[in-house]
Homo-oligomer: A and B are copies of this chain.
Amino acid sequence: MNMNTADFESMLHSGGYKLTAQRQAILEIIQDEKDKHLCTEEIYDEVKKAYPRIGLATVYRNLQLFEKLGLVHHIMLDDGCMRFQILGSQEKHQHHHLVCEVCGDVIDVEEDMLELFEKKLLSEMGFTVKDHRVQFFGICKKCTYKK
């Protein structure tokens, strides 16, 4: 499932970028915590366990790079920071997110359901959809049944 180092290296090299230990470490964190939605600072804290000397700017820079390469996507909830997540290679679009207003959990939903709508947007409004971002806010199962 996880991308191996050789693939990562060739992906970097084809864009003129270099394979560094820091980049590998950052990628590993995001891969390992794929169900979490870590923000830059949280990723920084994790990476520091392996690379105590890494700087926060390096994490910011590389997350931007990873997004440009299509490796990750960011979401913005309303807590004032970007949260990053690995983008599966087979996903055409970013998946949807359910945000529980009680516990704050973020749940991924792979099912798209928007293809028909996007066709309508093209035929009726002439708007060609390249990507979408969908967030549902509400109450998760756990919090519904909790006392």
Q: Which chain A residues have a beta carbon within 8 Å of chain B's beta carbons?
A: 76, 78, 98, 100-101, 107, 109, 113-114, 116-118, 121, 125-141, 144-145
Give the residue among A114, A117, A131 with the most B Cβ atoms within 10 A: A117
Query: Known: A127-B139, A131-B138. Is A98-B113 also a contact (CB below 8 A)?
Result: no
User: For A126, what are the chain B residues with a Cβ–Cβ distance below 8 Å?
Assistant: 140-141, 144-145
Listed A/B pairs (6) with beta-carbon separation below 8 Å:
A101-B130, A109-B125, A121-B136, A126-B141, A129-B138, A134-B134
CA distance A134 to B139 in the complex (A): 18
User: How many copies are assembled?
Assistant: 2
- Bound complex: CA of A145 vs CA of B132, how far in Å? 22
- Chain B residues lying within 8 Å of A101, measured Cβ to Cβ, are 130
Cβ B127 vs Cβ A141 within 8 A? yes
Q: Which residues of B contact A137 (CB under 8 A)?
A: 129-133
Say which residue of B100, B113, B130 sits within 8 Å of A138 (CB atoms): B130
Cα A76 to Cα B74 with chains together (Å)? 13
Nearest chain B residue, comparing its CB with the CB of A135? B133
